[in-house]
């Protein structure tokens, strides 16, 4: 099996592991991000992450925590296959000779390049996912009368293609998606490489065990969100914004309005669930990738 096929297979399995472990946390994150700012003197619908979990379970049951999983599950193979394959091909280009170990800086470059590639898959997938995850909280907003009710991922896609500008509508939020994926993946792969080298005591990391992959992967995932979280908030609010009566005119406008009305904390809504998700989900992803890649030779 060639290197591309190995990366495709390993990336797919790693992505599936990441999604299964992390999706409930992601659902709570999106609900906190997308809930409308409360009226003066009124409490928010979800005062915090645990309250969002309780309300979701009470209203929708455990299935509510996995709402919107169909879209990323359907594309997780393509997403992670592209991510790890592009990264692997960039590694091959940067190596001075076959088998040479790359530096942390070179891994940062590989991660950034992979981030550009996966943004074109992430944007429409995230739009569908966020619409499904956020529709229950948006139903209680002032625009509930015109809120579109979605029956599932394909229903979201059909509605957007028919009523929100066709293919272009599925790529709403592309700018903040790029602003998240490019630096975020640069940091992920750079930190992952640096931590593995630190734990191995040098550039040769071939003797590391599964525990090291779990620690390095989990901390690399945490570094992703520490670096790019506000851009994820901007992406989410733009993607769930009403098409006919938009609240935001673009990424910069969304940033300014959120900061003006809610301050810095408005750009970190849902940060707790995101961090709680990032460590186990990315640990699962990198462990599954490394184990699968190793088993394939």
Q: How far is CA 11 from CA 4, 5, 108, 239, 279, in A?
A: 10, 10, 18, 26, 18
Q: Is 221 left (phi over 0), alpha (psi -120 to 50) or beta?
A: alpha
* Count of structural domains within the chain: 1
CA dihedral defined by 205, 209, 7, 104, rounded to 10 degrees?
-30
Distance CA 283, CA 213 (A): 7
pLDDT at 291: 92
pLDDT at 99: 77
Percent of the chain at pLDDT exceeding 90: 49
Name the residue range of residue 207's domain. Answer: 3-296
- Classify residue 210 by burial, with Cβ atoms within 10 Å: 0-12, 13-18, 19+: exposed
pLDDT at 137: 67
Q: Spell out the SS3 assignment of the chain.
A: CCHHHHHHHHHHHHHHHHHHHHHHHHHHHHHHHHCCCCCCCCCCCCCCHHHHHHHHHHHHCHHHHHCCCHHHHHHHHHHHHHHHHHHHHHHHHHCCCCCCCCCHHHHHHHHHHHHHHHHHHHHHHHHHHHHHHHHHHHCCCHHHHHCCCCCCHHHHHHHHHHHCCCHHHHCCCHHHHHHHHHHHHHHHHHHHHHHHHHHHCCCCCCCCCHHHHHHHHHHHHHHHHHHHHHHHHHHHHHHCCCCCCCCCCCHHHHHHHHHHHHCHHHHHCCHHHHHHHHHHHHHHHHHHHHHHHHHCC
Question: What's the residue count for the chain?
Answer: 297
pLDDT at 158: 94
pLDDT at 146: 46
Distance CA 177, CA 116 (A): 9
- Nearest one of 218, 217, 182, 232 to 29, comparing CA atoms: 232
Rg, C-alpha atoms of the chain: 20
Against a cut of 0.85, is the pTM above it? no
| Residue pointed to by tokens 């940062």 | 108
pLDDT at 147: 58
CATH number at residue 175: 1.50.40.10
Distance CA 83, CA 11 (A): 7
Q: Which residues of the chain carry a pLDDT beneath 50? A: 142-146
For residues 197 and 166, is the Cβ–Cβ distance under 8 A? Answer: no
């Amino acid at each position: 099996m060639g290197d591309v096929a190995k990366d495709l297979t390993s990336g797919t399995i790693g992505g599936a592991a990441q999604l299964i472990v992390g999706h409930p946390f992601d659902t709570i994150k999106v609900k906190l991000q997308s809930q409308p700012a409360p009226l003066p003197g009124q409490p928010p619908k979800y005062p915090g992450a645990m309250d969002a979990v309780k309300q979701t379970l009470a209203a929708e049951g455990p299935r509510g925590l996995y709402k919107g999983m169909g879209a990323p599950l359907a594309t997780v193979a393509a997403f992670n296959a592209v991510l790890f394959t592009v990264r692997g091909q960039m590694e091959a280009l940067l190596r001075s000779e076959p088998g040479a170990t790359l530096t942390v800086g070179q891994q940062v470059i590989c991660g950034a390049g992979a981030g550009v590639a996966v943004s074109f898959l992430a944007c429409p997938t995230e739009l569908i996912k966020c619409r499904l995850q956020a529709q229950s909280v948006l139903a209680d907003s002032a625009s509930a009368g015109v809120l579109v009710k979605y029956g599932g991922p394909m229903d979201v896609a059909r509605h957007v293609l028919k009523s929100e500008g066709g293919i272009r509508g599925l790529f709403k939020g592309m700018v903040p998606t790029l602003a998240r994926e490019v630096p975020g993946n640069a940091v992920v792969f750079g930190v992952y490489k640096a931590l593995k080298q630190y734990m191995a005591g040098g550039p040769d990391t071939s003797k590391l065990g599964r525990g090291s992959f779990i620690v390095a992967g989990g901390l690399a995932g945490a570094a992703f969100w520490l670096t790019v979280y506000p851009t994820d908030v901007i992406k989410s609010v733009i993607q769930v914004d009403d098409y006919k009566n938009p609240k935001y005119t673009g990424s910069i406008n969304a940033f300014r309005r959120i900061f003006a009305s809610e301050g810095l904390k408005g750009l970190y809504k849902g940060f707790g669930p995101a961090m709680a998700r990032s460590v186990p989900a990315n640990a699962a992803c990198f462990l599954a990738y490394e184990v699968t890649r190793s088993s394939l030779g």
